[in-house]
Amino acid sequence: MSIFNGLLTKIGIRHPSAKRQLLRVFLLDDDTLRHQWFASQFDNDHIDIAVAPAQAIGLLSVNSYDVIFLDHDLLPEHYHSDERDDERTGFAVAVWLASNPTRQSASSIVVHTRNAEGAMRMVEELRNAGRHVDYVPFTILAPKIKNYRRG
């Protein structure tokens, strides 16, 4: 529950059982099991899922999201690869977001890849553009995901 909503509840203006505001969530990830996991974490919220950078950029350019989750390695050939970022990884989406500061300017951005090196390049690109972004490896995302929900 946000601090503001908690305060409203405490002083009696908002009833604690009032429905929470639905989130608009964006996910860039190629793993269908992760798609299911994210859908279960944001049950009853709106979630758009992209598996490729071009698809992601298309959705991000026309919709608004409260929280954006980005993976780096999107195709099996990128897993454990030494290949640098290109148009086929999540880095391309980070570059697009960094280059388009008016798009998704109020969104929380989370890089959730297991690829720490790729994640840090994405985070650096976004932060250099003035974006607020966190790197949370997927393996530890579950306990932190509640921070992205509104109460």
Write down the domain spans for the chain.
21-148
Residue type, 113: T
Predicted TM-score of the model (pTM): 0.81
- Dist CA 22 CA 62 (whole Å): 19
Per-residue pLDDT at 19: 60
What's the token pair of residue 65?
Answer: 């999201």
Q: What is the pLDDT of residues 84-138, one digit of tens each?
A: 557 789 999 999 999 999 999 999 999 998 888 889 999 999 999 999 999 999 8
Per-residue pLDDT at 146: 77
CATH superfamily of 21-148: Response regulator (3.40.50.2300)
Contact assessment for residue 75 and residue 30, using Cβ atoms and an 8 Å cutoff: yes
**Which has more pLDDT, 7 or 123?**
123
Phi and psi angles of residue 81, each rounded to the nearest 5 degrees, phi first: -95, 150
Q: What is the pLDDT of residues 50-91, one digit of tens each?
A: 999 999 999 999 999 999 999 998 876 555 555 555 778 999
The label of the residue with tokens 């002083």 reads 11
Side-chain-side CA neighbours of 53 within 13 Å: the count stands at 17
